[in-house]
Structure 1
Amino acid sequence: MTEAETIVALARRWLGTPWHHQGRVRGVGVDCAGLVIGVARDLGLDPVDVTGYARRPDSDELARLVRAHLAEIPLARAGPGAVLLLRIDDRAQHLGILTDVGLLHAYAPARRVVEHRIDALWAERIVGAFVFPGRQ
């Protein structure tokens, strides 16, 4: 199994987990940041975990934290296993993981972790792509 396949497989273990603001427990509750942190932990990494953020996080702070702890890559190079920074309400305040199907993320309106294709609406929301530390 490639590293990208491993990341996607680990992320898919979170599918169906209820959405819960600042949640960090698979099967119990997770938000978009918690999903990325959980997958990083499942990879054996020791991710920085910031709590105390609002339900709609400060987009500048979220972007700063993502850039400080993940490696940014060009969007054109993003493939399965990449972490995506996305705009919600015109501000970068959401995270997801790119899969061979599309986007896997803890999505509040769906009230759970979901995976779906990236249509034009979701594609225009993508503002950055990243990989976990030490990954290609």
Structure 2
Amino acid sequence: MKVTADDVVRTARSWLGTPYHHQGRLKGVGVDCAGLLVGVAQELGLSDFDVMGYTMRPDGESLRRHCDMQMKSITREELAAGDVLLFTFDAHPGHLGILSTPEHLIHAYLPRRKVVEHGMDAWWWAQAAGFYRFPGVH
């Protein structure tokens, strides 16, 4: 099956409203930012990779290594809807989201206590530290 960026966005949007739950992996029940990516990739048959046992403040370099191993690193100029952003908070990579449009993000966001979609303002762009594409997305 050919998976498109539209498929990634549509699948990610199907998780909107799912409550935030650290290390959660169940749509509608509970998920964190990594779990959202894992769930979307698994639903689309892109990957069965998962990692558990991380803390609320994951080792940022470990998170970056997992992203580098499991997805294709791209430049900001290549970034498009359906791609993944790695965010740095407090100088450490520690959060993931899926771009739904060139200016909107879907992610499991602890302060909002659920999966949300919102605009990417200057603050969010300043936190973006890595850009990735799911393998097999055309």
TM-score interval (norm. to shorter): over 0.9
Structure 1 residue 45: deviation in Å? Answer: 2.3
Root-mean-square deviation (CA), in Å? 1.2
AA partner of residue 42 (structure 2): R
The two structures have a TM-score, normalised by structure 1, of 0.95
Q: Over residues 33-77 of structure 1, what are the superposed CA-to-partner deviations in whole Å (9 max), with x where a residue is unaligned?
A: 000000001111233111000011000000001101101011111
Partner of 2:87: 86
Partner of 2:52: 51
AA partner of residue 133 (structure 2): V
**Percent sequence identity over aligned pairs:** 49
Partner of 1:71: 72
The two structures have a TM-score, normalised by structure 2, of 0.94
AA partner of residue 54 (structure 2): Y
Partner of 2:17: 16
**Matched position secondary structure for 1:105:** strand
Distance 1:48 1:54 in 2: 18
Distance 1:93 1:10 in 2: 23
Distance 2:31 2:91 in 1: 23
Distance 2:10 2:136 in 1: 19
Structure 1 residue 17: deviation in Å? Answer: 0.2
